[in-house]
């Protein structure tokens, strides 16, 4: 029965908590191990946001969905344990029991006890803070029918630093991943194709426009994680440019990059590429780890398609330049490469009216010539991002 | 680089952990895996953020509470000019209070809607400048979490979505690098210089005067550029150049 000494139990529980630090989906298993270790039958791991007052249950161990739901809907506002704990431990990490927060005889008279917790066998609480210095806070609460004993508190006190470490490790990983996802999504918003290559020239990321260009399989493709062109000599030139940019990035030299054309088997106009080094700022030591790494090296490949028919959204142009709806429609058409005559014919307006409209647009935007206007529109935020 | 052992020792000391040899093994495994994962993710996010620096437009990333978390190179340069748009207490700030309210209304709207996965309409705002130059144009859009990536938004400083603000300066005279245009469109050096000038907003006459050639020569060069690029009009050429890779990246590093 007791093949393992208590110390080994602790080690096993710690092992499972560390596994959860690296993989959030392992939390239920870690809590399932922790609960009997501290003498508990049920547990809830909770995350909440002190500024938005939103909360979320990360793990519920042997607590039914209805109970959780009712607790969040009906009792979150007057959960006496939470209130007493928040007051007593404001900002300080804690390990505590329900009986030490609210006297058990008092608690036994309360509605939350009789209505919600008693039927579920959750009459005492044993809780520890995981992250307790806002705005996002988290805590782990254990429950059982009987009052928790001193030895249970001591056991949770032994686990608490490991739980907090796991929470901190996880938070840093999740936040760093979040930073990556957000910056990559910003690249997705650009109206031009963007490929991010790692220091060895492998494609690490293609934004949405680049994905569309690659999908069209017309000149540019990925082969064994590397960019290739339809023609062998072009592939060699591209590889050379990528290698040079990677070396510049390694040496942390910023450079304007090299331009290349890529012929398309469809005989449409060539794709235009600019290959330039990416030079991230040096990574400072992270708060949690004290670890500083060498900044990563990478290469940026910007791809444009001269045949791309994207035009800025006329609604955006209207607001950006204070145009009327008719003016913004014409502006969008000009930015899309149409001539005045073409626009007049297509929109069944007389060429005279169109000329007069363009004059007013030029006045409003402070442009002297039509080419000037086209430049202004395309370089605007509306021209830059994907419509 | 500090190895996993040093990290584990520092963590154990900071948390006042008394660890058995068995537990030390667990801590070391955690340290190794954590450092490897964090390293990979840090490089991934650094590369994506640094890639934004290449583009010839100001890009700002805000957290769900509207605080500035990243500005690309052009964004930083634009803020440094303090001409209508600045940062105070980590928030973008317009000089005019009306415009400021509109900007932050748009930011709140973008932050609000996206965690539910609803792509909202982008908002457009003009930002006046004390220098009396033409106003900046800003577009505010939500950054939607790609499918399968909800976690960053749950754990972020607040629930809600990140917000993207792109700002353009109509008076920016940035022109594409002639050497890029030369490569992209098979132009001669003389042709690429004229093409860059046109893409930078200058007229043929202005270019002729500045480079001390006759207008006739410049016109003839323009004709050859149009023929080579398959464009019929000057405005069409400007469009081609401005929308090309050379037109969207910053010309000087």
ipTM for the whole complex: 0.89
Q: Return d(Cα A138, Cα A135) in angstroms, integer.
A: 10
Give the per-residue pLDDT at B194: 97
Q: Which residue has the higher pLDDT, A359 or B18?
A: A359
| Chain B stretch 54-113, residues whose beta carbon is closer than 8 A to a beta carbon of chain A | 54-57, 59, 61, 65, 69-70
The 10s digit of each residue's pLDDT in B99-154 is: 999 999 999 888 875 445 455 668 899 999 999 999 999 999 888 766 555 444 43
> Nearest CA to A224 among A200, A246, A202?
A202
Judge: B248–A161 Cβ closer than 8 Å, yes or no. no
Instruction: Give residue A109's pLDDT band: very low, low, confident or very high (50, 70, 90).
Output: very high
The 10s digit of each residue's pLDDT in A272-282 is: 999 999 988 76
Give the per-residue pLDDT at A192: 93
Out of B33, B41, B137, name the one closest to residue A320 (CB).
B137
Q: What is the mean pLDDT of residues A169-178?
A: 84
Percent of chain A with pLDDT over 70: 92
Out of A185, A274, A283, name the one closest to residue B245 (CB).
A274
For A128-137, A242-251, A257-266, B224-233, which range has the lowest pLDDT when averaged over its residues?
A: A128-137
Out of A260, A368, A374, name the one closest to residue B183 (CB).
A260
- B199 pLDDT exceeds 90? yes
For A32-36, A52-56, A326-330, A383-387, which range has the lowest pLDDT when averaged over its residues?
A: A52-56
Cβ-Cβ contacts under 8 Å between A and B: the total is: 336
Instruction: Give residue A230's pLDDT band: very low, low, confident or very high (50, 70, 90).
Output: very high
Min Cα–Cα distance to chain A from B87, Å:
19
Judge: A298–B156 Cβ closer than 8 Å, yes or no. no
Judge: A261–B51 Cβ closer than 8 Å, yes or no. no
Min Cα–Cα distance to chain A from B40, Å:
9
Min Cα–Cα distance to chain B from A111, Å:
31
> Nearest CA to A141 among A122, A165, A119?
A122
Q: Return d(Cα B19, Cα B80) in angstroms, integer.
A: 51
The 10s digit of each residue's pLDDT in B211-244 is: 999 999 999 999 999 999 999 999 999 999 999 9
B242 interaction partners in chain A (CB closer than 8 Å): 374-375, 378-379, 383
Angle (nearest 5°) at CA B135 between B130 and B139: 130
Q: Which residue of B has its CA nearest to A161?
A: B15
Angle (nearest 5°) at CA B153 between A160 and B105: 130
B143 interaction partners in chain A (CB closer than 8 Å): 182, 185-186, 189
Out of B152, B244, B248, name the one closest to residue A178 (CB).
B152
> Nearest CA to A300 among B52, B75, B244?
B52
The 10s digit of each residue's pLDDT in B30-77 is: 999 999 999 899 889 999 999 999 999 999 999 878 899 999 999 999
- B13 pLDDT exceeds 70? yes
- A43 pLDDT exceeds 50? yes
A162 interaction partners in chain B (CB closer than 8 Å): 17
Judge: A18–B30 Cβ closer than 8 Å, yes or no. yes
Give the per-residue pLDDT at B157: 43
Torsion of CA A11, A15, A16, A21, to 10 degrees: 140
Judge: B51–A196 Cβ closer than 8 Å, yes or no. yes
Q: Which residue of B has its CA nearest to A177?
A: B41
Give the per-residue pLDDT at B119: 52
Question: From the candidates B18, B19, B50, which should be mutated to test the interface with A, based on the most A CB atoms within 10 A?
Answer: B50
Give the per-residue pLDDT at A134: 63
Q: Return d(Cα A247, Cα A241) in angstroms, integer.
A: 10
SS (H, E, C) B92-115: EEECCHHHHHHHHHHHHHHHHHHH
- A182 pLDDT exceeds 50? yes
Q: What is the mean pLDDT of residues A216-221?
A: 94
Give the per-residue pLDDT at B160: 64
B240 interaction partners in chain A (CB closer than 8 Å): 306, 337
Min Cα–Cα distance to chain B from A68, Å:
19
Q: Which residue has the higher pLDDT, B82 or B122?
A: B82
B234 interaction partners in chain A (CB closer than 8 Å): 369-371
Min Cα–Cα distance to chain A from B9, Å:
11
Q: Which residue of B has its CA nearest to A49?
A: B158
Q: Return d(Cα B176, Cα B190) in angstroms, integer.
A: 14
Strand partners, A206: A195
Are β-strands A95-97 and A124-131 bridged in parallel, bridged antiparallel, or unpaired?
Answer: antiparallel
The 10s digit of each residue's pLDDT in A319-352 is: 999 999 999 999 999 998 899 999 999 999 999 9
- A56 pLDDT exceeds 50? yes
Q: What is the mean pLDDT of residues A81-93?
A: 88
SS (H, E, C) A281-294: CCCCCCCCCCCCCC
- A304 pLDDT exceeds 90? yes
Q: How far is CA A105 from the centre of its chain?
A: 47
Q: Which residue has the higher pLDDT, A2 or A63?
A: A63
Judge: B2–A162 Cβ closer than 8 Å, yes or no. no
Rounded alpha-carbon distances, angstroms, from residue A341 to A250, A312, A358, A366, B81? 52, 20, 12, 23, 41
Q: Which residue of B has its CA nearest to A50?
A: B158
| H/E run at residue A242 | helix A232-250
| Chain B stretch 177-206, residues whose beta carbon is closer than 8 A to a beta carbon of chain A | 177, 179-186, 198-201, 203
Give the per-residue pLDDT at B253: 59
Helix axes A325-335, A351-365, angle to 10 degrees: 90
Q: With a threshold of 0.95, does the pTM exceed it?
A: no
The H helix count followed by the E strand count for chain B is: 11, 7
- A133 pLDDT exceeds 90? no
Q: Return d(Cα A302, Cα A211) in angstroms, integer.
A: 12
- A252 pLDDT exceeds 90? no
Contacts (Cβ under 8 Å, ≥6 apart) of A311: A332, A333, A335, A336, A387
Min Cα–Cα distance to chain A from B85, Å:
15
Judge: B17–A136 Cβ closer than 8 Å, yes or no. no
B141 interaction partners in chain A (CB closer than 8 Å): 189, 385
Give the per-residue pLDDT at B128: 96
B119 touches chain A (CB under 8 A): no
B232 interaction partners in chain A (CB closer than 8 Å): 339
Torsion of CA B71, B74, B76, B78, to 10 degrees: -120
Q: Return d(Cα A140, Cα A147) in angstroms, integer.
A: 17
Q: Which residue has the higher pLDDT, A51 or A148?
A: A148
- A30 pLDDT exceeds 60? yes
């Amino acid at each position: 029965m007791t093949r393992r000494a208590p110390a080994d139990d602790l080690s096993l529980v710690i092992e499972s908590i560390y596994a959860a630090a690296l993989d959030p989906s392992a939390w239920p298993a870690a809590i399932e191990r922790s609960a009997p270790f501290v003498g508990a039958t049920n547990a809830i791991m909770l995350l909440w946001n002190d500024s938005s007052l939103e909360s979320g249950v990360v793990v519920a161990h042997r607590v039914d969905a209805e109970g959780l739901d009712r607790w969040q809907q009906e009792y979150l506002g007057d959960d006496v344990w939470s209130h007493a704990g928040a007051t007593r431990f404001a900002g300080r990490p804690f390990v505590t029991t329900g009986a030490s927060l609210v006297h058990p005889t008092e608690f036994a008279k309360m509605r939350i006890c009789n209505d919600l917790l008693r039927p579920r066998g959750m009459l005492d609480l044993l809780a520890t803070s995981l992250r307790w210095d806002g705005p996002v806070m988290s805590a782990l609460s254990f429950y059982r029918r009987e009052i928790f004993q001193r030895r249970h508190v001591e056991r949770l006190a032994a686990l608490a630093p490991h739980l907090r470490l796991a929470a901190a490790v996880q938070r840093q990983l999740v936040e760093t991943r979040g930073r990556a996802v957000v910056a990559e999504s910003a690249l997705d918003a650009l109206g031009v194709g963007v490929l991010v290559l790692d220091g060895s020239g492998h494609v690490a990321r293609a934004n949405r426009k680049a994905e569309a260009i690659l999908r069209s399989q017309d000149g540019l493709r990925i082969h064994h994680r590397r960019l290739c062109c339809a023609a062998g000599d072009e592939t060699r030139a591209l590889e050379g440019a990528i290698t040079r940019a990677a070396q510049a990035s390694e040496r942390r030299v910023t450079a304007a990059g090299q331009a290349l054309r890529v012929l398309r088997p469809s005989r449409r106009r060539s794709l235009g590429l600019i290959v330039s080094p990416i030079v991230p700022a040096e990574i400072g030591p992270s708060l949690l780890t004290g670890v500083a790494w060498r900044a990563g090296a990478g290469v940026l490949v910007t791809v444009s398609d001269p045949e791309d028919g994207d035009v800025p959204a006329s609604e955006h142009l209207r607001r950006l330049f204070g145009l009327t709806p008719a003016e913004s429609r014409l502006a969008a058409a000009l930015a899309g490469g149409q001539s005045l005559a073409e626009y007049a014919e297509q929109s069944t307006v007389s060429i005279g009216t169109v000329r007069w409209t363009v004059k007013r647009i030029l006045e409003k935007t402070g442009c002297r010539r039509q080419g000037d206007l086209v430049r202004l529109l395309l370089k605007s935020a509306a021209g830059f991002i994907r419509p | 680089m500090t190895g996993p052992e040093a990290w584990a020792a520092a963590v154990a000391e900071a948390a006042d952990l008394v660890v058995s040899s068995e537990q030390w093994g667990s801590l070391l495994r955690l340290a190794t895996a954590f450092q490897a994962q964090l390293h990979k993710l840090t490089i991934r996010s650094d590369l994506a953020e640094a890639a934004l620096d290449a583009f010839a437009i100001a890009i700002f990333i805000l957290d769900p509470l509207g605080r500035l978390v990243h500005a690309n190179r052009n964004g930083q340069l634009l803020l440094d000019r303090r001409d209508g748009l600045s940062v105070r207490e980590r928030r973008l700030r317009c000089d005019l209070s009306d415009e400021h309210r509109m900007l932050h209304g748009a930011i709140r709207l973008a932050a609000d809607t996206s965690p539910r996965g609803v792509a909202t309409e982008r908002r457009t705002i003009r930002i006046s400048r004390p220098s009396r130059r033409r106003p900046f144009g800003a577009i505010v859009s939500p950054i939607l979490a790609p499918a399968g990536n909800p976690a960053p938004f749950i754990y972020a400083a607040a629930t809600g979505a990140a917000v993207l603000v792109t700002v353009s300066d109509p008076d920016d005279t940035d022109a594409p690098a002639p050497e890029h245009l030369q490569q992209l469109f098979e132009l001669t050096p003389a042709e690429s210089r004229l093409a860059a000038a046109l893409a930078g907003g200058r007229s043929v006459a202005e270019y002729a005067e500045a480079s001390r050639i006759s207008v006739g020569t410049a016109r003839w060069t323009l004709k050859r550029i149009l023929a080579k690029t398959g464009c019929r009009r000057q405005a069409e050429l400007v469009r081609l150049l401005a929308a090309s890779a050379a037109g969207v990246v910053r010309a000087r590093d």
